[in-house]
Amino acid sequence: MCTECILDAYSRYAYSVVMSDEVKALLPLQPTTFHILLSLTDEERHGYAIILEVARRTQGELKLSAGTLYRSIQRMLETGLIVETRNRPAPELDDERRRYYRITPLGKAVAEAEAGRLRDLLKMARLCGVAPRTT
Amino acid sequence: MNFYRLLLHLYPSSFRAEYGDEMSSIFALELDRSSGRAARCGLWVSAFAEIVFNAAMVHWEIARRDLFHSMRSLLRSPGFTLTALLLITIGIGANVAVFTLANFVLVRPLPFPQPDQLTKVWEKHPGYPRMELSPANYRDLMASSRSFTTLAAYTGYSMSLVGQGEPRRIEGAVVTANLFSLLERPALIGRYFRQGDGQAGAPGTVVLSYSVWQTAFGGDREIVGKPVSLDNQPYTVIGVMPADFRFPTRETLFWTPFRFKETDYLDRNNDMLDGIGRLKPGVSLAQARSELLLIAARLRKQYPKENEAVDLSVFALRDELSEDSRLLLKGLCGAALCVLVIVCANLGNILLARSLARERELSIRLSLGANRRNLLRHLLTESVLLGLAGGVSATGVAIAALPLLSRLVPSRLPVQQVPSVDVEMLLFALALTVITVIAFGVAPAWQACRGAGLNGLRVGVRTGGAGRHGARSALVIAEVVASVVLLVSSGLLIRALWRVQSVDPGFTTSGILSLSTDLPFPKYNKTSTREQFYGKVLTEVRRLPGVMDAAYITALPMTWGGGIWPVEVDGRSRILTEGNSASLRFVTPGLFSTLGMGIKLGRGVSDNDTADRPWVAVVSESLVQRYWPHEQPIGRHFKFGFHDREVIGVVGDIRARGLERTSEPQVYLSSKQDLDDGLTYYAPKDLVIHSSQPSELLLPAIRQIVHAADPEQPISDVRTMDEVVAGETESRTIQMRVLVVFTGVAIVLAGLGIYGLLAFTVSMRQQEFGIRLALGAGHGDIFKMVLVQGAVLAVAGLVPGLALAYIAARLMESLLAGVRPADALTFSTAAALCLITTLLGTLFPALRAVRADPTAIMRAE
């Protein structure tokens, strides 16, 4: 067995030990949820800003509709992945109808765990000779 | 934008309130940024699609969460859940089973194309509103009528199937060649009759039913064209009908064509054909009826003697059911509805009790920020979940119960015996479940949510206001009303059954075994051949140990309503009317002693009453009363069954047509006094044996005797006379048993309902009782208070219950066999039973109230 494989197996074991049950229960994440979490990692955003940020990050490939966004937001609020924040921008930049959302520590942990899961998946694919083509 | 806001109403209101504004503003922004008509259109289309999809998903997520919570909440109180499920199963199960049966028998279209066009055509004689047609009248009717696309005729007929295993008697029908085309059901394999098959001299052809094809011919696909022997005559199988084809009854196993000879048309009083017609499209039953009246009038003019007072009439084939059969089923439906009322009332009561008990929990949830609407939805989900689970188990119960009730499906209906489970039945079950759940889930949920609030959180506050108490009392009263109606109805029907069972049939039933040896023709066309057979069988049977006597008769009493002929005394009257009819039965010597029918005057039929001696008759007392009251009947002559007969004896009347209806006077003729090729249809076929031995011991020996007399002669319809008589009351007995079960359930539920309500009230009033006791009230006073409360409920239900029961009794008067609808004994017994049950239900709560400890209660407060 190669060293890389041993290291990989160990990292997977260590990862599963540290990952809490609460986080585990939420995996795997739906792509929409993952993207929303990612869009909130750097700053608090309102709904439309999330749509724009996700579109920017995916180079326009994923364009969330308002309905899908708020259905996901409602679920993420319930599961505690995000919270609504009271911090608002300066009044001249604000629209009172907007709600701003912030990622929670749990949200962050779940996003990290999902990223780890995807990384493991990618590694496994690579080991099997199925590697994504680099452009 | 207004349309977008309208679309947002597809979301649950809570979601809309939370995110609606923001979603609208995002959509407005996107709309602003889009350029061009096409882009805007695309935006609208995608917005519409995603709102519909997402709204459905949000609803589903909420429902899933509610279902999960409801399931948990129901599992937390298994006692309540099981009780509610049991109640729903009983109430809905009983109704689905009974209504499916009633729908099957009374409503569902018959299994033929355009069943509404199918009619039965009858002759109408004075006193006989539905008489079969004579071949001559049928032929004239066919020639003149313009209302029907086809008119056909048939008559039931059994034949011996020989050569396919043991010889056996099978029920079939002789039909006119056009019957199958009238019914518009194609043969499964082969063909059905053509006009040529029905012509005199044509070779014998037979169409087999699916079941006889499977059982006797092993489902042979090559059966068409093969010969079979029926009544020792060669027939060629020309076709097999589909499995679900049943006509005229479900017992019919084969069909052969009528082959009328000119002589068949001579006697216009030979009423032997069941007429069936398919109305032309657009022709109503009333139009056909008036046309038939005109034709009948013309025939009366044309044949004034033979057709005197004979009319013609037509009825829908669907309505070929006796009024009693309908009433029987309608009665059961009414009883099932009563059970449903009781079950719903009980269900409402326990749901109300639960909602009161949960007021505190709901109050806490409200104070923690739960939305009242969400709570209501959650409670309703609980009811829906209960309802659906109960509905499923109720449907299972109903499906299991249907075969038990299937004996209430009259055999003369051309349908299968057990109603099939179909979409209609499942939809009915679903509708009933939904109605029950909505009616008895919504109110308690609403009450609970309205009641929950800050009050519910206060310690020591007694919940359950006057309004709710009133609602629960009303439900209990409804239960008492329904139970009283059921109690009285079952009581009256039990008394009616007893009365019918106590009717003297006019003959001995115990120790009499009967069986049929239906002789085949033309093999037995000669009277002497038949007599040889009877002689051999009877001599040997009489020799068997334990046999006291044995005889042959055309048909056992109560098994055949046919053979009614007009009696002609001194040249008076020729056509059949109620006033001159009598039943004709050929008998062998020894019949009267075998059946224990005492000879009142003269003698019975003897071996000497042969064809070359004066033709004699033994008549029943009612015939003597009709024609020779206060005169000596012996030696009198009358014309009957084409011949002059001399009265040689008088016997008591028997209930030839059944226990519940009076019969025509009876005339018994000597089996030897019939011409060869004469009334062969009336040749004795039923053997009756009076014996002290049980039938199981006798039967093998009798089989051997019959086999020795004619190895090809099958035996059928083996039964005791007790069974024949019991068969008379079979449907009544089944209906009564079902009713008794319903009533038992109803009365127990009503008692439990009262108990539940009072137990709850007593627990709520413990504090009041404690104070009363502390202030000097006696235990007796408290006991009386609770008892009076129960009694008031009972009486409040009893009075309208008895009134409704009387109305129900009047409606089913024809089923009561002479028991008066206001039968005092039944009504008083029902009232007493109801009072006892309610008082029993009151007793335990009253005793608990008396045991209230004032010191403990005051300390707790």
pLDDT digits (tens, 9 = 90+) for B825-845: 999 999 998 888 888 888 888
- Mean pLDDT, to the nearest integer, of B330-356? 82
pLDDT digits (tens, 9 = 90+) for B249-308: 888 999 999 988 888 888 888 888 999 999 999 999 999 999 999 999 999 999 888 888
- The gap between the terminal CA atoms of chain A, to the nearest Å, is 31
Report d(CA B476, CA B793) in Å as an integer: 7
pLDDT value at position A31? 93
- Cβ pair A67:B50 closer than 8 A: yes
- Mean pLDDT, to the nearest integer, of B365-369? 77
Quick check: helix, strand or coil at residue B586? Answer: strand
**Residue B244, pLDDT above cutoff 60:** yes
pLDDT digits (tens, 9 = 90+) for B42-71: 889 988 998 999 999 999 988 888 889 888
pLDDT value at position B696? 86
CA distance B752 to chain A (A): 44
The DSSP call for residue B568 is B
pLDDT value at position B648? 93
Which residue of B lies nearest to A73 if distances are taken between CA atoms?
B19
Helix (H), strand (E), coil (C) string for A42-79: CCCEEHHHHHHHHHHHCCCCCCCCHHHHHHHHHHHHHH
CA distance A73 to chain B (A): 10
pLDDT value at position B350? 80
Size of interface A-B (CB pairs under 8 A): 51
pLDDT band at residue B459, thresholds of 50, 70 and 90? very low
In percent, the amount of chain B with pLDDT more than 90 equals 31
Residue B528's nearest CA partner among B296, B390, B395, B683 is B683
Which residue of B lies nearest to A50 if distances are taken between CA atoms?
B26
- Mean pLDDT, to the nearest integer, of B719-743? 85
Which residue of A lies nearest to B8 if distances are taken between CA atoms?
A67
Question: Which residues in B lie closer than 8 A to residue A68 (C-beta atoms)?
Answer: 50, 54
pLDDT digits (tens, 9 = 90+) for B384-411: 888 889 889 999 988 888 888 877 777 7
User: Which alpha helices (H) appear in A1-135, and where do they start and end?
Assistant: 3-18, 21-25, 31-39, 47-57, 66-79, 105-127
Q: Any CB–CB contact under 8 A between A60 and chain B? A: no
CA distance B53 to chain A (A): 9
Question: Which residues in B lie closer than 8 A to residue A95 (C-beta atoms)?
Answer: 25
Q: Which two tokens stand for residue A127?
A: 């080991």
Question: Which residues in B lie closer than 8 A to residue A74 (C-beta atoms)?
Answer: 15, 18-19, 58
- Phi and psi for B661 in degrees, rounded to 5? -140, 150
Question: What's chain B's average pLDDT?
Answer: 86
Dihedral Cα B517, B518, B522, B524, nearest 10 deg: 40
In percent, the amount of chain B with pLDDT more than 70 equals 96
Question: Which residues in B lie closer than 8 A to residue A88 (C-beta atoms)?
Answer: none
Q: How many CB atoms lie within 10 A of CB B289?
A: 15
**Residue B861, pLDDT above cutoff 60:** no
pLDDT digits (tens, 9 = 90+) for B532-568: 999 999 999 999 999 999 999 999 998 887 888 888 8
- Cβ pair B23:A75 closer than 8 A: no
Question: Which residues in A lie closer than 8 A to residue B58 (C-beta atoms)?
Answer: 71, 74
- Mean pLDDT, to the nearest integer, of B353-357? 74
What amino acid is encoded at B219 in this protein?
G
pLDDT digits (tens, 9 = 90+) for A77-130: 989 999 998 877 777 777 777 889 999 999 999 999 999 999 999 999 988 888
- pTM of the predicted model, to two decimals? 0.74
Quick check: helix, strand or coil at residue B786? Answer: helix
pLDDT value at position B576? 74
**Residue B362, pLDDT above cutoff 50:** yes
User: Which of B14-28, B351-365, B524-538 bottoms out in mean pLDDT, i.e. has the lowest?
Assistant: B351-365
Report d(CA B731, CA B406) in Å as an integer: 10
Question: Which residues in B lie closer than 8 A to residue A66 (C-beta atoms)?
Answer: 22-23, 26-27, 47, 50
Report d(CA B295, CA B310) in Å as an integer: 11
- Mean pLDDT, to the nearest integer, of B207-218? 92
Report d(CA B262, CA B37) in Å as an integer: 88
- Cβ pair B19:A70 closer than 8 A: yes
pLDDT digits (tens, 9 = 90+) for B146-166: 999 999 999 988 888 877 777
pLDDT digits (tens, 9 = 90+) for B669-709: 999 998 888 888 899 999 999 999 888 889 999 999 999 99
pLDDT value at position B69? 86
pLDDT band at residue B464, thresholds of 50, 70 and 90? very low
User: Which of A10-24, B32-46, B284-298, B454-468 bottoms out in mean pLDDT, i.e. has the lowest?
Assistant: B454-468
pLDDT digits (tens, 9 = 90+) for B312-333: 999 998 887 777 788 888 888 8
